[in-house]
Structure 1
Amino acid sequence: LYIYGSLDNSGDTEFCSTKYFTYSTTDLVKWQNHGVIFDSMDPSFGLKSKLTLGAPDCLFIDDKYYLYYCSYGNRMGVAVSESPAGPFKHIGAVEPADGDSIDPAIFQDEDGSAYYFWGQFNLRGGKLAKDKKTILPETIQYSLLNEHEHGFHEGASIRKLNGIYYMVYTDISRGKATCLAYATAEHPLGPYKKQGIIIDNIGCDSQCWNNHGSIELYQNQLYVFYHRSSQGSMYNRRLCIEKIYLDKDNKIKEVPMSSNGVSPCISTDEKIPVSRLSKMKVKTPFDHLEPMSLQPSVSDEQEVLVYTKENDWIQFDNVDFGKGKYLIDIEVATIKPMKVEIWIGGNEKIGEIEVEAGNSWSKYNWFSKKIQPISGVNNVWLLFKSKDYSVGRLGNIKSIYFR
């Protein structure tokens, strides 16, 4: 299975970049990075626009792989490769979508017909000509989904399951574009009826804003591929995967965003990076302090939790304590004394660690404490508390370990 998506630059103040990468997997756990497959800055890929590349889609058709892309200025084009891992060579613009809007989606039906979809706030779609870059004008539908009726924001993706066409898209009906919703139809070009929400990434980050993704049946299991915000920025997003299921009526039940994703649980046999959190206390409009967020570590590629404050909390889902754990270790860098409380589902506090003040926000030390013995699978919250009347920013958290 291959993943195609845009690439955000850490610390940037705009979405995406000029490069596409692809990753492949045979088990959804271990992934191979195939490197840059398309770059608008590099003339060797055939596109000299130097424009930022947004959400792409890819289709294997007529023994070749076609990568459909969008870029700033509502530009839309297509590149082709003999391999799913690229490199892809630009072969032209997609007309008449080029210059009209963003976020291409491509789909081939069982009869060989290919369909192209695009749009923000209003979804367009039409049948693709044999040249793979022209949408037949007489087939174009201009309002397959819209914002006021379906909550459609952007990022369409289409699949066919059990003879039904599922259009997955970014939904803004809950106030932010943090949901992936789906609508169904009996034909690729509609009409579509909204059915519900698949997943909502709200609460993953103080600056969470949007969600893009798709669904895919892989090795007899249906999954939703989506993203969540990170690093206290709407411009930094990470890929996530969850299992989903069709019921007897071919409906998809909404699933929660989790810490474990495709894995059954989070093992406590090794340390748990704080980046595995699923939710955090988000900044309120009345909070003038820097919001808690995940940020790149200065010493390695791991993300760390920074700007924790009094009564901030983070959540880890489905943590497997096995037959029993009795101690917790926590890796913290701070210049202030603080406490970390450990809570599990049922509003039960199972322990508390006192963290001594150090002399650096980037020098990490381990602190240990006994906890109430715990076994089985539980959701876990870390609640941060000040100590000795310290105020403002507390410690940076890197990882936890149960023993």
Structure 2
Amino acid sequence: MSTPIPRRRRLAALALAFGFAAAALSPAAEPSPSPAQADNPIVQTIYTADPAPLVHNGRVYLYTGHDEDGSTWFTMKEWRVWSSDDMVNWTDHGSPLNIDTFAWARQDAWAGQAVERGGKFYWYVPVVNDATGRMAIGVAVADSPTGPFRDAIGHPLVENGEIDPTVFIDTDGQAYLYWGNPNLWYVKLNADMTSYSGGVNQIPLTTQGFGTRPGGTSRPTLYEEGPWVYKRNSLYYMVFAAQCCSEFIAYSTAPGPTGPWTYRGTVMPTQGSSFTNHPGVIDFKGSSYFFYHNGALPGGGGFTRSVAVERFAYNADGTIPLINMTSTGAPQVGTLNPFVRQEAETIAWANGVETERASEGGMNVGWIENGDWIKVKGAAFSTGARSFTARVASATSGGRIELRLDGPNGALVGTCTVPGTGGWQTWTSVSCAVSGASGTHDLYLKFTGGSGYLFNANWWQFTA
């Protein structure tokens, strides 16, 4: 942290409260009692919502919204990015896009999606147009999946008062942008990804295409919002938030990108202590993954949501199976190499800490107090580690980093002492000997010391 300000939010004692999700999940999806196995939600340092995963160069980049602490509405001012190469250890890249990026926007950093084309990354997001007071779709562009993003055109790409854009590039190169609540719309994007041709087109919401909503409301179909469109083999899928409220996730399929759509059923039932949900579907390293959000973290609910993920397999006929929320999450793909520099904000589970921008670039972990810890899953120590180095800063008297295996109170293999450095962004490197770390283990960096905030951590690395 830059200054010793009070913690914005304290997710206290999660190590002792991993039963938090029991009330939030369905009986069939109750969490494991073992802390080491609870990896959903995948971000614990802030509240996140509306997941939009993107696979690029062997990593999954996860674009999310950010629910403000203590929200009683969809109070959202920025979007965030995380990435992972193993589906369990997620690196926090901060916020490369916010409302102020769009000079014409007023509020509501709601659900969007990013896509790569021609070496650039285009992020489509809904915001309120300050001039009209209506929701509009903006587009931001960056040279990197983690930004920084800038307004690509200086005005809305399209505006009709509706929300939740999803973007899809077909195998023939034609790109489509879909969005809508209460209706469903699409445009054909031009190759520049910042303009479109052929006008704004409305997709007919028929009960054959999108199911029948019970209760005889003014909306005859189940379609509510949050569409996610993709192609698998020769079939087009539209996964969407259904009914309201509470929402569940349903899907339809079509032989082409604009229909005709046929309703296929439920993907994820209503679960998870949030009356909204939002899908994101990808294939990564040979498996399929379904992203969603719930209210499973302490203080969570319909306006303080958290993104989670499940691995799934399509049925033989291409249909999507029923997917339940769990606190276990997706299994790890491969292992983490502790002998290369790892960012401190690469986290499988965090207890008590938060993140912020670091003066040396990237993010750092801060607001560290006695007893807080970070779990990194599946660190492959092979035949053993000799020493550990961490980049740290402290405006107080520092503290200690205990290196523990397989639990916050697991085997102690090393302890590094962190001194006061004279400032929260005054960085130094500390090292300590390591003994007894071999094989593959979940690594816990447990922070100990006196009262108050102890130090910040930027990165760490073991030597073999």
TM-score tier, shorter chain, comes to 0.5 to 0.7
Contact residue 77 and residue 133 of structure 1 kept, 8 A: no
Question: Looking at both structures, which has the greater relative contact order when contacts are Cα pairs under 8 Å and sequence separation is at least 6?
Answer: 2
The alignment status of 1:130 with 2:221, answered yes or no, reads no
The alignment status of 1:67 with 2:123, answered yes or no, reads yes
Deviation at 1:160, TM superposition (A): 0.8
Scaled by the length of structure 2, the TM-score of the pair is 0.53
Contact residue 168 and residue 183 of structure 1 kept, 8 A: yes
Q: Cα gap change, 1:196/1:63 in structure 2, threshold over 3 Å: closer, same or farther? A: same
2:182 aligned partner: 121
1:57 aligned partner: 113
Deviation at 1:126, TM superposition (A): 2.4
Contact residue 203 and residue 258 of structure 2 kept, 8 A: no
1:169-209 deviation line (CA, Å, top 9, x unaligned): 1011xx6343111110111111111111111242x33xx30
The alignment status of 1:17 with 2:80, answered yes or no, reads no
* Distance of 1:109 and 1:38 partners within structure 2: 26
Deviation at 1:47, TM superposition (A): 3.2
* Equivalent in 243, 254, 264 of residue 185 of structure 1: 254
* Equivalent in 226, 237, 249 of residue 155 of structure 1: 226
Q: Cα gap change, 1:301/1:169 in structure 2, threshold over 3 Å: closer, same or farther? A: farther
Counterpart of 2:179 in structure 1: which amino acid? W
Deviation at 1:218, TM superposition (A): 0.8
Contact residue 150 and residue 194 of structure 1 kept, 8 A: no
* Equivalent in 232, 245, 251 of residue 319 of structure 2: 251
Q: Cα gap change, 1:112/1:16 in structure 2, threshold over 3 Å: closer, same or farther? A: farther
Deviation at 1:75, TM superposition (A): 1.7
Aligned length: 265
Deviation at 1:229, TM superposition (A): 2.0
Counterpart of 1:134 in structure 2: which amino acid? S
Deviation at 1:29, TM superposition (A): 0.4
Deviation at 1:254, TM superposition (A): 0.5
* Distance of 2:251 and 2:108 partners within structure 1: 28
* Distance of 1:121 and 1:143 partners within structure 2: 12
1:166 aligned partner: 237
* Distance of 2:65 and 2:183 partners within structure 1: 21
RMSD: 2.7
Counterpart of 1:159 in structure 2: which amino acid? Y
* Distance of 1:299 and 1:47 partners within structure 2: 42
2:264 aligned partner: 195
1:209 aligned partner: 275
* Distance of 2:268 and 2:220 partners within structure 1: 19
* Distance of 1:39 and 1:274 partners within structure 2: 27
1:234 aligned partner: 302
Contact residue 241 and residue 248 of structure 2 kept, 8 A: yes
Q: Secondary structure at the match of 2:326?
A: coil
Contact residue 46 and residue 91 of structure 1 kept, 8 A: no
Q: Cα gap change, 1:98/1:191 in structure 2, threshold over 3 Å: closer, same or farther? A: same
Deviation at 1:119, TM superposition (A): 0.2
Higher strand share: 1
1:310-334 deviation line (CA, Å, top 9, x unaligned): xxxxxxxxxxxxxxxxxxxxxxxxx
Counterpart of 2:231 in structure 1: which amino acid? K
Scaled by the length of structure 1, the TM-score of the pair is 0.60
Q: Give structure 1 stretches of 5+ with no counterpart.
A: 265-271, 276-297, 303-403
Counterpart of 2:115 in structure 1: which amino acid? L
Q: Cα gap change, 1:133/1:273 in structure 2, threshold over 3 Å: closer, same or farther? A: closer
Contact residue 104 and residue 116 of structure 1 kept, 8 A: yes
* Distance of 1:232 and 1:3 partners within structure 2: 20
Q: Secondary structure at the match of 1:250?
A: coil
Counterpart of 2:314 in structure 1: which amino acid? L
* Distance of 1:49 and 1:299 partners within structure 2: 41
* Distance of 2:196 and 2:220 partners within structure 1: 25
Q: Cα gap change, 1:76/1:138 in structure 2, threshold over 3 Å: closer, same or farther? A: closer
The alignment status of 1:38 with 2:97, answered yes or no, reads yes
Deviation at 1:156, TM superposition (A): 0.5
1:361-401 deviation line (CA, Å, top 9, x unaligned): xxxxxxxxxxxxxxxxxxxxxxxxxxxxxxxxxxxxxxxxx
Contact residue 21 and residue 34 of structure 1 kept, 8 A: yes
Q: Cα gap change, 1:49/1:126 in structure 2, threshold over 3 Å: closer, same or farther? A: closer
Q: Cα gap change, 1:126/1:50 in structure 2, threshold over 3 Å: closer, same or farther? A: closer
Q: Cα gap change, 1:232/1:131 in structure 2, threshold over 3 Å: closer, same or farther? A: closer
Contact residue 250 and residue 265 of structure 2 kept, 8 A: yes
Q: Secondary structure at the match of 2:94?
A: strand
Counterpart of 2:310 in structure 1: which amino acid? E
* Equivalent in 291, 297, 313 of residue 225 of structure 1: 291
* Distance of 2:137 and 2:327 partners within structure 1: 35
Q: Secondary structure at the match of 1:51?
A: coil
Q: Secondary structure at the match of 1:4?
A: strand
Contact residue 294 and residue 301 of structure 2 kept, 8 A: no
* Distance of 2:115 and 2:306 partners within structure 1: 23
Q: Secondary structure at the match of 1:110?
A: coil
